[in-house]
Structure 1
Amino acid sequence: MFSQMGVPTKKTPYEVSEASDVVITMLPNSAHVIDVYTGPNGLLHGGKLLRPWLLLDSSTIDPETSRNLSATVSNYILKEKKGDWEKPFKLDAPVSGSVTAAEAGTLTFMAAKICNNLALAVSMLGISEALALGQSLGVSARTLTNIFNCSSARCWSSDAYNPVPGLMEGVPSSRDYNGGFASKLMAKDLNLAVESAKLAGCKYPLTSQAQKIYTELCSVGHEAKDFSCAFHHYYSGMDEPHDK
């Protein structure tokens, strides 16, 4: 596809490395990143000399893998010095904003992505649970959302990425939860958060519960649906009639 658009393409990560000053990777999990960097014909395949001065990994992976790869890259030397730099840099820089921001070209490079997605999952589940409870008590999701968004419950999940079908256009809930941040990816990130919390000796009751919910959603066939589908497929929330 890219070659048809006039964009140069290569067959292996190593060929990309040999033709690039900067390499950006964005892959599903740690195993993929390790393979692209250190596998056969990986980015680091060509001995201890490296052409790209910057290797930017935007994958959401476990901190240990990221640190290990950074340490490995630090042992390499640039084929050509970049100013005063003799060694390449490897940076861990995941992105925030999901599919909506990617389409709009407004993704944000960030640190601490696992912590961000932990908070995102818990806030989405909290908003979904509250909206579903409100519906069960006879309060429309539209009314509750208006209350949330002018009070202390306001958050991204309520005012920018609402999980209730019929409330907001241009978000996954408006298209049967398709085309967003897949529940299987959220489950993966929560698994990373749990493992990180264990290693750090931190308590993680909300992370653990969120992990169980998204694992369950994946196990019953919703792994490809956007993570906001918890409102409908876990809490049994109802669609909201469109305004007339």
Structure 2
Amino acid sequence: MSRTVAFIGLGNMGGPMAVNLVKAGHRVRGYDLAVTPGPELEQAASAVDAVADADLVLTMLPAGRHVLGVYDDILPAARPGTLFVDCSTIDVADARTAHERAVAAGMRALDAPVSGGVVGAEAATLTFMAGGGETEFAEALPLLEAMGKKAVHCGEAGAGQAAKICNNMILGVSMIAVSEAFVLGESLGLSHQALFDVASTASGQCWALSVNCPVPGPVPGSPAGRDYRPGFAAALMAKDLGLAANAVRAGGVDAELGLRAAELYAAYAERVGATEDFSGIVRTIRDRSGDPT
């Protein structure tokens, strides 16, 4: 069934996600402070204008403060009962606050952050991790499936964000481990291809190795083969690991590797920002190892 969708936040992720909704037959009214919607989308004059006649409102914004600020503006303008689906990656507490504000305004809400990066957004192969009611998840599911290949209902409000930061803590730690292993292999005279051929079919196999390999050659489609152009930018990994670190400290969890990964990516992202893929951290590890190659 075709729906009228307001899509607020049309950057590298939100733009192609909104286009995929149009391809699936939905009417999409887009708004972004800095990006002009493509010709596939109807252009709203403002965020308030975008939500006025929407069945669902999707947001894809940089941080919790942006989500809460936009919600303050648009909740009074939406029709009662409108479903708000936030696909941003934000703090769990902010996600729960956004949910509470939506419900207090007579709306319904779902947090549904994504995994898969720009490539996944363009190819409609994202994974969505959703938090909120089962009824709201069921209503949003056809749209999530138009933008991705998998959607998982993780629990109540904030559970989607919880799943996202836990997943990305695994990813950040594993990318550092894979990068350290390749640099160690270099120091021992082991070729990248030989290490990949062994580890990718042995107990060292993981996504950071087999799909996003941090050295050029073994996986031709990985960012390492295009001078580490992102994929998933280092700055975004640093942001996600920072959210995970905040949750670790707040929960009193003993997560030494997660906290250390957050520190390493924060330092790396301070230098390269959004210009390099997070797998480029292998070069930092190599440089700190004293190997100029």
Compute the TM-score of the two structures, normalised by the length of structure 2. 0.71
Q: Distance in 2 between matches of 1:173 and 1:65?
A: 34
Q: Distance in 2 between matches of 1:4 and 1:56?
A: 21
The amino acid of 2:233's aligned partner reads A
Task: Give a deviation string over 1:186-241, Cα, whole Å, max 9, x none.
Answer: 1111111111111111112111111111111123335531100011233349999x
1:23 matched residue in structure 2: 57
Q: Distance in 2 between matches of 1:161 and 1:124?
A: 9
Residue 92 in 1 paired to residue 143 in 2?
no
2:76/2:105 contact within 8 Å kept: no
Of 227, 251, 264, 1:200 maps to 251
Of 58, 79, 102, 1:73 maps to 102
Residue 50 in 1 paired to residue 79 in 2?
yes
Higher radius of gyration, 1 or 2: 1
SS of aligned partner of 1:165? coil
1:124-163 equivalence runs, <5 A = 124-163=175-214
2:45 matched residue in structure 1: 11
Cα offset, 1:2, TM superposition: 6.1
Q: Distance in 1 between matches of 2:292 and 2:226?
A: 12
Change (3 A) 1:13 1:134: same
Of 167, 185, 194, 1:116 maps to 167
Q: Number of residues paired by the alignment?
A: 225
Change (3 A) 1:55 1:185: same
SS of aligned partner of 2:43? coil
1:178 matched residue in structure 2: 229
Residue 225 in 1 paired to residue 268 in 2?
no
2:230/2:278 contact within 8 Å kept: no
Residue 209 in 1 paired to residue 282 in 2?
no
Higher RCO (CA < 8 A, seq sep 6+)? 1
Cα offset, 1:182, TM superposition: 1.0
Q: Say which is worse superposed, 62-71 or 28-37, in terms of deviation.
A: 28-37
Q: Distance in 2 between matches of 1:4 and 1:182?
A: 23
Q: Distance in 2 between matches of 1:119 and 1:224?
A: 22
Q: Distance in 2 between matches of 1:160 and 1:66?
A: 30
Q: Distance in 2 between matches of 1:231 and 1:131?
A: 8
Q: Distance in 2 between matches of 1:189 and 1:4?
A: 28
Q: Distance in 1 between matches of 2:81 and 2:53?
A: 8
Where in structure 2 are there 5+ consecutive unaligned residues?
Answer: 1-34, 130-159
The amino acid of 2:46's aligned partner reads T
Change (3 A) 1:17 1:164: same
Cα offset, 1:30, TM superposition: 1.1
SS of aligned partner of 1:178? coil
Q: Distance in 1 between matches of 2:38 and 2:202?
A: 51
Residue 103 in 1 paired to residue 122 in 2?
yes
| RMSD of Structure 2 on Structure 1 (CA) | 2.2
Q: Distance in 2 between matches of 1:218 and 1:155?
A: 23
The amino acid of 2:241's aligned partner reads L
Q: Distance in 2 between matches of 1:3 and 1:182?
A: 23
Q: Distance in 2 between matches of 1:52 and 1:183?
A: 38
Compute the TM-score of the two structures, normalised by the length of structure 1. 0.85
Return the structure number with greater strand share.
2
Where in structure 1 are there 5+ consecutive unaligned residues?
Answer: 78-87
SS of aligned partner of 2:85? strand
